[in-house]
Chain A
Amino acid sequence: MKLQSFLTFCCAALVFVGAADAQQNKKKKRKPRAVLAIPKVEKKDIICFALYTVDVTTLKLTAQLYPIPKGESKEVRLEIEQDGKWVEAAKVSVIEQGWTAPFRVENWDDSKSQKYRVAHGTEAFYEGMIRKNPIDKDEIIVAGYTGNSIQPAHGGDISRQDLIDNVKRVDADVLFFSGDQVYDHHKHYAAWLKFGRDFGEIIKDRPTICLPDDHDAGQPNLWGESGKVSTLPGAADGGYIQPGSYIQEVERAQTSHLPDPVDPHKIGQGIGVYFTNLNWGNVDFAILEDRKFKTGPAGRVPKQGPRPDHIRNPEYDPASVDVEGAVLLGERQLKFIDNWSQDWRHANMKVALSATIFCGGAHIHGNANGRLHADMDSNGWPQTGRNHALEGLRKGFAFHFAGDQHLATIFHHGIDEHRDAIWSFCLPSIANLYLRWWDPLEPGLNREPGAPDYTGDLFDGFNNKVTNYAAANPEKKPAGNVLNTRAAGFGIVRLNTKTREITMECWPRNVDVTDPSAKQYTGWPRTISQFDNYSPPSWGKLGELTFDVENPVVQLIDAESKEILYTVRARGKTFVPGAPKGKAFIVKVGENTPDTVVSEEAKVGGEAQTVTLN
């Protein structure tokens, strides 16, 4: 009898496992997993794609190659077409770990478009166009993407042709891939080649900014903690799961074509940094690394949920997780932002690009109703670091463009009061692996007429002040597997450097954005002014300034503390500076740098002033 009982239990166990396996297998048959392999290519096709940026007079271009067979030359050339002939501009040996060929050409003339080709041997050529700097255009178009899953289970395996076609239709000036270009945690190279096969056609002809995020680095979440080694499943202890050499390869592939880092000192495990800025078409883009220096929460903050990075307890004290010493961007980047926000040479507008937004931008996580009070993977934590970042960015009236959340949103951020800092647009995923919803339990305050309950002035789970204007929530119960029911898509930001207007567009997949009948997600498009990025409701106006030159740079400095309140390029010949009431400000003005003091004691409600610079 005993043996019989034992056998019965064993059978039950087998039935359980077998049934569960059958369920899974049944699913697998319907939706097989993506197979990532490095295809064998002909000699002539050994160059997969190429990415580039031009900053002032330096062209940086990285060619991505398939593995070069043994015995063949590792030398790769960059050639520029001049008077109908190809002239060699640079030559490098390919870096075998990742098969990248990073070129650098100094004294580049960005006033004209030039054809280029990457060459290997006598058979392999890859052609593209280095565009001229579009400083004569009024509108700079940035097409943005995030979350490039290739898994069939949620539609990730379908063609990217709709994305390619739309970039061509709007003729985007810049491409921005905010992160998770690669979801495979072990085979970045193979996945990066696939990314190149999918997007190379549009990347080769325009400046492209890629930010490697957590999945690119081979882990589910990333708190880089200056290059520490992570040893906790889930990586919430901070640091990198993959070896330093793997991360170096990822960053070489995705970021070596970006302008030189402003502070190139390496972090732990020999991992480099790439935070920098790109000035293109009179728009100054700050390229930030919001993961690399960030502290991991495990063991640092009191446990508030089933995971060290998730807060499930709505009764918790948000201040308890804002622990001393927790870093978000880190001192080096904050210093960079401070300098960048003051530098308006060749720039009418400023845009900050990073992996994700500076708040907890979702309430429900996963493929069902997994409500989290707060998620420390977002840039809402640590709150002090988040506020420092926003304080720096608003000093330059920067607009923020980011992704990662798998949920498109528009937020106007607040620090001391609602809406006193910058605006952000979080991109929808190309293919949405993991669903999230913005769904506050209480309706927002001060909503626009007719706006959904989830909009308005709210607090995120870390008690950060946020004002939501749009959220492309996917359908609920149970989530469908069609791309559009999963709120997949892409974003377009139109930066009008003349009117200083910023228009955010959020498109679903498989639409023609030039078709008048094509519809964006609810809440888009939205147009704001550049000056909305630092216009707290409590502020008043100083006296109007009238200049003898167009578009001078204006800087306000607190007369008492001598701290810079902001620096911005005015539009036209007049400017009415906003400022806090009851304080005095030094006002400085200049054509490109604010080097002329025009007032020592400017106050809200002060008199108009005429400024002569020439």
Chain B
Amino acid sequence: MTQTKLDRILLLCLRLGAFFCFAGWTWVHFYWQGPYGILLWQDTTYAWVERFGISWEEFVGTGANDGLIQKWIHRIAWLYLACSILSLTVRHKSHLQMAALIGGSVLLMGLAYAKYLAIQSQFPMFIEHGGQMLIPIILVMALVFGVRHRVTVRTAMAALIMTFAGHGLYALGYHWPTPAIFYGMTAVILQVEHDTVRIFLHVVGTLDFVVCIGILIPLWRRPCMLYAAVWGFLTALARPVAGMSMSLNYWGADHYIHEVILRAPHFMIPLYLFFLWRKPQENEGLQLAAK
């Protein structure tokens, strides 16, 4: 495999990661609702909006009709849809598209912040969204500076560390309680008792931190990234595996499939780094084989 081909694969990892992340959130905003209520539906936000002469009922609705909040939360879906498409179409010199993708990243930051507030300001909730928040920026960096550029790679490493550190903190239950859904999904999928689940989460939580450290040690990087890609995919897949059922409408797909899709950065960023850090001799061997 030539360096150019490999670079294309690296870029494809980032493109697909960003595309699926935005596409998943588009579904959430279209079909369900974005989690911004806690940011918008409060007195302090209204005090700011009121300066523009907007009445309370215009802002939150009359009761019989939607207000600005409901309308705009729904309209944000279009921005996510646009970002999904731009993730696939953006090219090296598409400055506007790149700017829009960075805007998409800001949207994701706002979303992660809202989720963080909604769960009583639990730090792991915000940082576990690192991969999702940063993947559009990493994609833009890869286009502007190159997929192997130091800034691109380090940002990807930071994104991965954020995601895995967030998950690890939650899995270990250190300072912030382990989300009960972690227990539920594990118990349902593995069909094991609570005590076993607790041990399992401690082990995988520790491994999350091994990944965060391993990424900084050249010798450990590749196996860590392989594990991270597989584990990131499995944890994303856990939602539908645990929740979907033949007895539900559409097998419950409308509730669960987007949960895998929007978590694409959790396994696409490690995959990008795994391919990036292929040993040169492997590349050469592949090139010879191709000839």
Contact = CB atoms under 8 A, between A and B. Distances in A.
Interface in A179-216: 185-186
Contacts of B184: 229-231, 239-241, 243
Nearest to B43: A478
Contacts of B144: 2, 6
Contact of A218 (B32, B117, B180, B254): B180
B95 A27 contact: no
Interface string A206-247: 000000000000110000000001111100010111111110
11 contacts: A13-B105, A231-B242, A232-B243, A232-B256, A242-B183, A244-B194, A300-B248, A364-B63, A369-B57, A369-B62, A441-B64
Interface in B94-108: 95, 99, 102-103, 105-106
A12 interface: yes
A307 B32 contact: yes
Q: Which of A239, A298, A301 has the most CB of B within 10 A?
A: A298
Contact of B180 (A17, A20, A243, A439): A243
Given A231-B242, A298-B255, A307-B32, A241 B60 contact: no
A368 interface: yes
A23 interface: yes
Interface of B: 31-33, 37, 39, 41-46, 56-57, 60-64, 67, 95, 99, 102-103, 105-106, 109-110, 113, 117, 120-121, 137, 140-141, 144, 177, 180-181, 183-185, 187-188, 194, 197, 239, 242-243, 245, 247-250, 252, 254-256
Contacts of B245: 299
A367 B42 contact: yes
Given A6-B144, A27-B44, A369-B60, A243 B183 contact: yes
The winner among A10, A232, A299 for most chain B CB atoms within 10 A is A299
A12 B106 contact: yes
A368 B41 contact: yes
Contacts of A128: none
Contacts of A308: 255
A438 B132 CA distance: 40
A229 B63 contact: no
A478 B56 CA distance: 8
A112 interface: no
Nearest to B112: A17
A369 B61 contact: yes
B102 A371 contact: no
B188 A231 contact: yes
A237 B243 contact: yes
B32 A302 contact: no
A575 B283 CA distance: 97
Given A20-B39, A299-B249, A308-B255, A233 B61 contact: no
Contact of B188 (A229, A244, A299, A371): A229
Given A20-B113, A237-B255, A366 B41 contact: yes
A9 B102 contact: yes
A369 B33 CA distance: 16
Secondary structure at the A interface, as helix, strand, loop or mixed, is loop
4 closest A-B pairs by beta carbon, nearest first, are A299-B248, A306-B33, A368-B60, A241-B180
Contacts of B62: 369
A218 to B, nearest CB: 6
B74 to A, nearest CB: 9
A86 interface: no
Given A33-B120, A369-B63, A6 B102 contact: yes
A299 B44 contact: no
B113 A231 contact: no
Interface of A: 2, 5-6, 9-10, 12-13, 16-17, 20-21, 23-24, 26-27, 33, 185-186, 218-219, 229-233, 237, 239-246, 298-303, 306-308, 363-364, 366-371, 439, 441, 477-478
A13 B111 CA distance: 12
Contacts of B183: 242-243
Nearest to B60: A368
Nearest to B110: A16
Contacts of B57: 369, 477
B95 to A, nearest CB: 7
User: Which of A26, A219, A370 has the most chain B CB within a 10 Å cutoff?
Assistant: A370
Contacts, number: 126
A244 B250 CA distance: 29
Nearest to A241: B180
Nearest to B32: A306
Contacts of B43: 478
Contact of A303 (B99, B197, B254): B254
Nearest to B141: A6
Contacts of A231: 181, 184-185, 188, 239, 242-243
A245 B243 contact: no
Contacts of A17: 109-110, 113
A298 B252 contact: yes
A243 B194 contact: yes
Contacts of A27: 44
Nearest to B242: A231
A26 B44 CA distance: 10
Nearest to B44: A23
Contacts of A13: 105-106, 109
A548 to B, nearest CB: 58
A241 B184 CA distance: 6
Given A9-B102, A364-B63, A478-B43, A2 B95 contact: yes
Which interface residue of A20, A298, A368, A478 has the most chain B CB atoms within 10 A? Answer: A368
B259 to A, nearest CB: 9
Contacts of B99: 5, 9
A566 to B, nearest CB: 37
A231 B184 CA distance: 6
Nearest to B144: A2
Given A9-B105, A229-B188, 15 more contacts: A6-B137, A9-B103, A23-B45, A186-B177, A231-B185, A231-B243, A232-B243, A246-B180, A298-B252, A299-B247, A306-B33, A307-B33, A364-B63, A477-B56, A478-B46
Contact of A16 (B44, B45, B109): B109
Contacts of B140: 6
A231 B42 CA distance: 29
Contact of B63 (A241, A299, A439): A439
B120 to A, nearest CB: 7
B252 A9 contact: no
B194 A367 contact: no
A9 B41 CA distance: 26
Contacts of A246: 180
Contacts of A12: 106
A11 to B, nearest CB: 11
B67 A369 contact: yes
B91 to A, nearest CB: 14
Contacts of A219: 180
B45 to A, nearest CB: 7
Contacts of A478: 43, 46, 56
A27 B38 CA distance: 13
Nearest to B240: A231
A355 B99 CA distance: 52
A229 B121 CA distance: 26
Contacts of A363: 63
Nearest to A239: B184
A241 B181 contact: yes
A558 B183 CA distance: 52
Contacts of A300: 248-249
Contacts of A5: 95, 99
Contacts of A242: 180, 183
A185 B118 CA distance: 14
A439 B109 CA distance: 37
A525 B42 CA distance: 34
